[in-house]
Every structure is written in C-alpha cells, then in structure tokens.
Copies of this chain bind each other. A is one copy, B any other.
Amino acid sequence: MAHGNKVLVGQSGGPTAAINASLAGVFSTASSLGLDVIGMRYGIQGLLDGRTVRLSHYLSRPLDAKFLRMTPASWLGSCRYKLPDVEQDDAPYRQLMDIFCELGVGSVLYIGGNDSMDTIHKLSLYGDAVGSPIRFVGVPKTIDNDLVGTDHTPGFGSAAKFIATTMAEVARDSDVYDLKSVTFVEIMGRDAGWLAGSACLAGTSESPCPDLVLLPEAPVTEDQLIERLSTLLGEKNTVVVAVSEGLRRPDGTLMCEQWERAADGSRLDAFGHVASLSGTSRYLASVVRSELGCKTRAVELSTLQRCASHIASATDLDEAFRQGGAGVLAASDGRTGVMCALERMTNHPYVVESVLADVHEVANKARPVPRDWIAEDGMGVTSRFEDYARPLIGGEVSQVYIDGIPRHIESL
C-alpha cells in the first residue's frame, strides 16, 4: 500500500497546561499546508488498538482551536507505553507500520517527554532500517524541563508561573499571625529541581521569596536544615521553604522514605496495607515542629502545578504552539529522527528560535539543574537560575470565562 501524506499526531506521558497548545499548533500548520491530521487516542497504545480521530471533524470552527490551546491535559488522551527493543520483539513495529500505511500517513509527530522521544528515536531507526519514507518527529513537552538538547521544554513555563504565583500567595498567607512558623511547599520533581527552583520567581529584588529552595540535586540532612531554619527564625517570624518531592539526603535516601522507617512498617491504611507515601513536606513539617517547637505547615501543590491553565504562561503556550507547527514543517522538509528544540538566542531581550535536535542524542538522557545555578550551601538557587527562568513565565493568557470559570474545549 502506498504511503500517504497525512499527519498522525499523538500525546504521551504526563499531562501539562501546554501540550494541547502544541496539538493546536500541529493542526494549524498542517491545515495551512492542506494536510489532514489524524490524532491517536491514548498515544501509541491506543493506536495499536486502532483508536484514532480525524481532527478536522472536531476543530472545524476557529474557536475550537482557541479553546483547545487553552485546555489543560492531553485532549487526545495519553499513555505510558514504551516500545520494546526491536531486537527483542519487532511485532509492535510491524503492526505500527501497517497501521501507518493503512491510514495513509506521511509523518508521525509525538508530543511528549523523555519516553516519547524514546518512541520517536526507536520508530525512526526502524523506519530507516526498513526503508520507510515516513518521517518521525518529536515535539517536546514536560513540566520537568529535564530534556537535553533544548533550552527548555514547553509546559515548564506554565508550571513555573503557577508555582511562583502561588508561592507568593502562600507566603502572604503564612505571614498573618504574630508567631514563629515554617511553611514547606512541596513541588513536583523526582530527580530534577527545575520546578522547585522556579519558586524563586515569587521573589522581587526587594523581597526575596521563598527563604529556602531544596532541590534533588543538592542533598541535605535534617540537621543541616534545622540549623539553617533556626538561624532564619532568629531573624524573622515566617520562613517559607520550597522543597522538591525528590529531596534526598547525602546518602541518597529520599526524605519522604523516613516516614516509612519511623513508623516501622506499621503505617497502614484502613485495610492493613502499607499506604503509598509521598509527603516530603509533611515529613519535614513534622521534623521541624518536633525540633524547633514552632508552628509548621505542609502545602502540596500536587497536580495543580501541571494543569493550572488558568494561569498559563503566554510565552509558554506560544512556544508550545509554535513547536507543534515546527514539527509539521520539519516532517514536510523530509526530516526524521529529530526533536523540535528551542534555542535561546539572547536573554535580554528574550529571543528563542526553533531548531531541530537529533532525537537519538536526546532520548533516555536527563538534564539536572547545573551545580553553579544552585546556592553554595545547597539551599537556594542563584541569580543565573532566575535569569534563565524569568522570561519563561512572561505574559498572561486571555482565557475565555463562561459562567465564572475558564472555558475548555469539549472532551473527545
């Protein structure tokens, strides 16, 4: 069967506030080139089950694409499917190639993070090996900002804007009583501290906020933290700490694992099973309350930080939209095995360009916060971090409010 020129697009991995903007960008640019766009429902996994939708059917009115752009999470649905090594099992590859042919697909765009780039990496190698003319292009998205080969990833800026904004608000909220208190705000990031670091954007030059930032890249002990907090509480009433859920001790153990050890296996749920634990902030609040005797509070930003499209960064959504379009153009140019990356040309003014990165150099790597962007004592970030992150939260999105809440596109 002859290959076609349709664009097949999927979304994969954790949802963000910007991944639908990239999808809207794919649709917009493909449509302008006269190309049909087919969406995978639930990523590669749904595709293997034959689940697809024709986007033009759902995005026929101009407002549809506008609402899609401002709707959080993965409109097409997502998956966490990892292709097997082709040497071990090439069945899914053959099945996918058959599906691509059947659908008349000329290019496959996959919007996602590290695992999604792994999928593009493997499919493009397989495509080359079997002489397929289909182009495979990755469009990056992850709030974690830990992809290599790009200045930053769409989705990060919006998460950072929510984190910085709510951090400033929580800091106000924490400071109303005339007593000593420590508030821990727990932020996503199992291995990389980009999101926790972005809490620094809550501060202004006159009033830095939060007081401390604790990242997975900079392990601390409870004793070190207590000592630092004790000093801070000597200077001020209210201390606010941004902490990565993935904060570790120097021996590599996660802070939140202490909960399990402390309760000696007896921290059970209502039916006698060990409860799944997160709770880095709850753990630290408990330790500090015991040690310093002050009021403490734990605030988990939870999934809100990745889906709060009501306070998305306009810069982020613009770039996400643009990268979706760049993916279509790259495929049209015959490029395959590439990821649509962002390169920062200048920071003052902030100018980024769309470039293509070799996806084989991107997949299965991770980028931590550089050591010299972290304060010497490991409990904060430097001005280099702030210079890097500040432009990414710039600009506000004009949501359409109906009946008092932002309007999203109808679910599929």
Residue of B nearest to A20 (CB): B172
Which residues of the partner chain B approach A266 to less than 8 Å between Cβ atoms? 263-264, 266-267
> Is A38 at the interface (CB under 8 A from chain B)?
no
Known: A287-B270, A287-B271. A303 touches B207 (CB 8 A): no
Q: Which listed segment binds B: A102-110, A124-132, A160-168, A331-339?
A: A160-168
Residue ID in chain B nearest A394 by CB atoms: B404
Bound form: Cα–Cα A73–B173 in Å: 5
CA distance A300 to B301 in the complex (A): 8
Q: Mark A277-307, 1 if CB is under 8 A from B, else 0.
A: 0000011001101110000010111111011
Whole-angstrom distance between the alpha carbons of A72 and B169 in the complex? 6
A258 in the interface, Cβ–Cβ < 8 Å? Answer: yes
Q: How far is the CA of A169 from the CA of B310 in the complex (A)?
A: 9
CB <8 Å contact, B304 and A78? no
Residues from chain B with Cβ under 8 Å of A370 in the complex: none
A410: interface (CB < 8 Å)? yes
A254 lies within 8 A of chain B by Cβ: no
Within 8 A of B (CB), among A81-138: none
Query: Interface residue count for A (Cβ, 8 Å)?
Result: 83
Per-residue contact bits, chain A 203-226, to B (CB 8 Å; 1 contact, 0 not): 010110000000000000010000
A73-B175 contact given A283-B270, A290-B270, A404-B393, CB 8 Å threshold: yes
Known contacts A207-B411, A270-B262; A299/B310 CB under 8 A: no
Q: List, in ascending order, chain B residues with CB within 8 A of A404's CB.
A: 161, 164, 201, 313, 390, 393-395
In the assembled complex, which residues on chain B have CB atoms less than 8 Å from the CB atom of A42? 177-178
Residues of B near A390 (CB, < 8 A) are 403-404
Query: Does any Cβ of B come within 8 Å of A5's Cβ?
Result: no
CB-contact partner of A72 in B11, B173, B287, B313, under 8 A: B173
With A168-B405, A393-B405, A408-B168 already in contact, the answer to whether A286 and B269 are too (CB < 8 A) is yes
The chain B residue with its CB closest to the CB of A389 is B404
A303-B173 contact in complex given A165-B405, A262-B268, C-beta closer than 8 Å: yes
22 of the cross-chain contacts (CB-CB < 8 Å) are A42-B178, A71-B172, A73-B176, A74-B176, A77-B176, A79-B178, A169-B310, A170-B303, A170-B304, A170-B307, A172-B307, A173-B306, A206-B410, A207-B411, A264-B266, A266-B266, A270-B287, A271-B286, A271-B287, A275-B286, A301-B304, A311-B311
